């Protein structure tokens, strides 16, 4: 079975890929979010042309060949584009075999514990605590992540004193028996990150994400070496060389690849295995409710070293207006703090036909 046609349906924020095999069988995947319209262009120019006519089932060699053919273009955009191919072909194979993707990868559908993940920094400590308690009581979440410092903030807080206030206030409001995580989003120097880290440890926070500029692995390692809580990171890293170095030098306690930034499921499975060999848990980055979080659920149920929970964004349409109406059914219903992988074939969701009607449509096919 070979790939006959590759289509993209995209807007600025999100783009889906439909693959059609020579048999007429189809699968659906997604390009990584943000500048997805640009990524769709790259998909047709630099991915589809190498993929058309190749094996639709055993596609690992094609992914490697694309990287070789496009070796002058390492980095984010090519990976964001190949994700569309990888995720569409896994959906196709799942539909052919009547199995969910997780089963193709050696796992099985199950419930997965989620942590409620805040994306907001402009929220006051009081309002953050209020909405967390509501989510704890209404949806049963037992783990929460909130934001400290400022994104790439060079030690300058979102506003003076926010971090010193939000850490104890939210942590104490949530109380015991809750896993508490914070994200620094590349905001600190090592010296300041270690100061903040001591406050986090005193307040019972167990996970300190991306404390220093993410590309400065030695800074992250300095923070890890100084603190006892888990220092974590990796969401932006999309090259295997970066992952090998980060893991080898011991920069983090927990690896956090993003399935879609990294180039798809096969590449993320590879990084998860590198982590497993070093004894590191894998708690992927999945910061919105497009297909990335569903892919991450299937991944977590298939790998040997899953972290304790799935990242599940709690932001609605005020923060992510483009999430509106992506799927026919919501695959992210939370019950008792858990989401559930469906046993339907492939990814188990249907992209909303009305959303597709409004998207820019492009086609590459065999002549
Ligand atoms: Mg993060």
The tens place of each residue's pLDDT in the chain, 367 residues long, gives 999 999 999 999 999 999 999 999 999 999 999 999 999 999 999 999 999 999 999 999 999 999 999 999 999 999 999 999 999 999 999 999 999 999 999 999 999 999 999 999 999 999 999 999 999 999 999 999 999 999 999 999 999 999 999 999 999 999 999 999 999 999 999 999 999 999 999 999 999 999 999 999 999 999 999 999 999 999 999 999 999 999 999 999 999 999 999 999 999 999 999 999 999 999 999 999 999 999 999 999 999 999 999 999 999 999 999 999 999 999 999 999 999 999 999 999 999 999 999 999 999 999 8
How high is the pLDDT of residue 190?
Answer: 98
Structural domains of the chain sorted by starting position, each given as residue range(s) with its CATH number in brackets: 3-98+353-365 (3.30.390.10), 103-340 (3.20.20.120)
Q: How far apart are CA 113 and CA 136, in angstroms?
A: 13
Structure tokens at 341: 């992988």
- Gap from CA of 175 to ligand 1 centroid (Å): 23
- Gap from CA of 185 to ligand 1 centroid (Å): 6
How high is the pLDDT of residue 313?
Answer: 98
How high is the pLDDT of residue 349?
Answer: 98
- Gap from CA of 202 to ligand 1 centroid (Å): 22
How high is the pLDDT of residue 42?
Answer: 98
- Gap from CA of 174 to ligand 1 centroid (Å): 21
Query: At 85, phi and psi to the nearest 5?
Result: -70, -50
- Gap from CA of 48 to ligand 1 centroid (Å): 31
> If residue 144 lies in a helix (H) or strand (E), which one and from where to where?
strand 143-147
> If residue 354 lies in a helix (H) or strand (E), which one and from where to where?
helix 353-358
How high is the pLDDT of residue 86?
Answer: 99
How high is the pLDDT of residue 347?
Answer: 98
Place of tokens 């929970």: 309
Q: How far apart are CA 334 and CA 188, in angstroms?
A: 33
- Gap from CA of 51 to ligand 1 centroid (Å): 32
Q: Which of 9, 2, 114, 105 is nearest to 326 (CA)?
A: 9
- Gap from CA of 309 to ligand 1 centroid (Å): 14
Q: How far apart are CA 257 and CA 267, in angstroms?
A: 10
Q: Which of 242, 213, 212 is nearest to 226 (CA)?
A: 212
How high is the pLDDT of residue 63?
Answer: 98
Q: Is the dihedral of CA 313, 315, 319, 324 positive or negative?
A: positive
> If residue 90 lies in a helix (H) or strand (E), which one and from where to where?
helix 76-97
């Amino acid at each position: 079975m070979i790939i006959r046609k590759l289509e993209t349906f995209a807007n600025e924020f999100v783009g889906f890929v439909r693959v059609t095999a020579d048999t007429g069988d189809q699968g659906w995947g997604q390009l990584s979010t943000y500048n997805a319209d640009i990524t769709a262009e790259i998909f047709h120019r630099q991915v589809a042309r190498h993929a058309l006519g190749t094996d639709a089932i055993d596609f690992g060699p094609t992914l490697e060949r694309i990287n070789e053919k496009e070796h002058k273009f390492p980095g984010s955009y090519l990976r964001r584009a190949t994700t569309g191919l990888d995720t569409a072909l896994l959906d196709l194979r799942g539909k052919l075999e009547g199995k969910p993707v997780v089963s193709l990868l050696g796992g099985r559908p199950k419930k997965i514990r989620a942590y409620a993940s805040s994306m907001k920094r402009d929220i006051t400590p009081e309002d953050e605590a209020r909405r967390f308690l509501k989510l704890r009581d209404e949806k049963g979440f037992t783990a929460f992540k909130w934001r400290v410092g400022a994104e790439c903030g060079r030690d300058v807080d979102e506003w003076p004193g926010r971090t010193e206030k939000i850490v104890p206030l939210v942590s104490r409001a949530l109380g015991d028996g809750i896993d508490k995580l914070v994200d620094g989003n590349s905001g600190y120097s090592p010296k300041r990150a270690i100061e903040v880290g001591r406050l986090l440890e005193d307040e019972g926070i167990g996970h300190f994400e991306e404390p220093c500029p993410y590309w400065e692995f030695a800074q992250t390692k300095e923070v890890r070496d100084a603190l006892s809580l888990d220092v974590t990171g990796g969401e932006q890293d999309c090259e295997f060389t970066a992952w090998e170095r980060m893991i080898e030098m011991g920069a983090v306690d927990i690896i956090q690849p993003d399935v879609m930034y990294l180039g798809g499921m096969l590449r993320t499975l590879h990084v998860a295995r590198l982590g497993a060999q070093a004894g590191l848990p894998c708690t992927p980055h999945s910061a919105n409710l497009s297909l990335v979080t569903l892919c991450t659920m299937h991944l977590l149920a298939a790998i040997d070293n899953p972290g304790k929970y799935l990242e599940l964004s709690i932001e609605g349409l005020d923060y992510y207006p483009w999430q509106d109406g992506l799927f026919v059914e919501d695959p992210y219903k939370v019950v008792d703090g858990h989401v559930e992988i469906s046993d339907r074939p492939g990814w188990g969701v249907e992209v909303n036909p009305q959303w597709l009607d409004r998207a820019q449509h492009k086609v590459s096919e065999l002549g």
